[in-house]
Amino acid sequence: MDVPSAACVGPGWACAMRRRWLTLAAAVVIIACVPSTAATGAQAAAPRCGPGEVRVALGLPISPATGEHGDLFVITDLSSRSCWLEGYPSVSLSNGEQRLPFVYLDGGGWYVTKRAPQRVTLAPGQHGYFLVAKYRCDGGILATATSIRVLLPTGTSPITLDVSDQHAAELDYCKRYPGDQPIDPGNRVNLSPIEAAPATVPQQ
């Protein structure tokens, strides 16, 4: 590597030593400016989770807070390779064949994180999580959800889970409660992004 420098005045051995130190310093600067990819190489190389590579199941119950109930859903990598997910799931709740007309919101509520979605890389057998949360029905119940349809941000087909005989917490469609809100608070469903760790306590 040729390093331009000012003319060296002095003994030849001193000028040679000076040129060696300048060359070494320039090499260190060049190495420091090259971004390192070793730490994130495995994660960057993992593909997005594809069809049949993940399973969705209802997780453990969550204690209700201030009238809001949350249901934790667990995503498991069933494949033999790592893959990633990022973003919010799309869900819809039904009673039998009737889709319940909830309003679905990304974020919000007491349980759902305020953080923006982050890429979650799952190793084989590892879990990711998302929350479905809603307020209780203060004015009475019109219908109770018996199934939930989940579409993960993978471009794959939706997954339908039967929640009628499981411990899903108050996935009820509410009667209109008298008040000044156009939509009953219990008919809004808040969704969390997919996360690497379960959020089982209120986030606010």
| Structural domain boundaries in the chain | 47-191
Largest CA distance in the chain: 96
The pLDDT confidence band at residue 38, using thresholds 50, 70 and 90, is very low
User: What tokens appear for 137 in the block?
Assistant: 């029905």
Residue 7: what pLDDT? 53
Q: Using CA atoms, how far apart are residues 103 and 191, in angstroms rounded to an integer? A: 11
Q: Which residue has the tokens 């051995």?
A: 13
Q: Which residues pair with 91 in a beta bridge?
A: 150
Q: Which residues pair with 141 in a beta bridge?
A: 174
- In contact, 194 and 85? CB cutoff 8 Å: yes
Residue 43: what pLDDT? 53
**In which element (H, E) is residue 120 found?**
strand 120-122
Residue 32: what pLDDT? 34
The answer to whether residue 22 scores a pLDDT higher than 50 is no
**Could you tell me which residue, 74 or 44, shows the higher pLDDT?**
74
CA-only gyration radius of the chain, Å: 27
Dump pLDDT digits (tens) for 134-186: 999 988 999 999 999 999 987 778 999 999 877 777 899 999 877 767 888 89
Q: Using CA atoms, how far apart are residues 95 and 148, in angstroms rounded to an integer? A: 9
Residue 11: what pLDDT? 53
The pLDDT confidence band at residue 44, using thresholds 50, 70 and 90, is low
Residue 139: what pLDDT? 87
Residue 197: what pLDDT? 85
Topology of the domain comprising 47-191: Immunoglobulin-like (2.60.40)
Q: Using CA atoms, how far apart are residues 190 and 170, in angstroms rounded to an integer? A: 14
Residue 41: what pLDDT? 53
CA distances from 57 to 18, 44, 189, 190, 202 (A): 67, 27, 18, 18, 21
Q: b/e string for 123-141 if b means 16 or more Cβ within 10 A?
A: eeeebbbbbbbbbbbeeee
Dump pLDDT digits (tens) for 68-95: 888 999 999 999 999 999 999 999 999 9
- The pTM (predicted TM-score) of the whole model is 0.74
Residue 23: what pLDDT? 41
Dump pLDDT digits (tens) for 111-138: 788 888 999 999 999 999 999 999 999 8
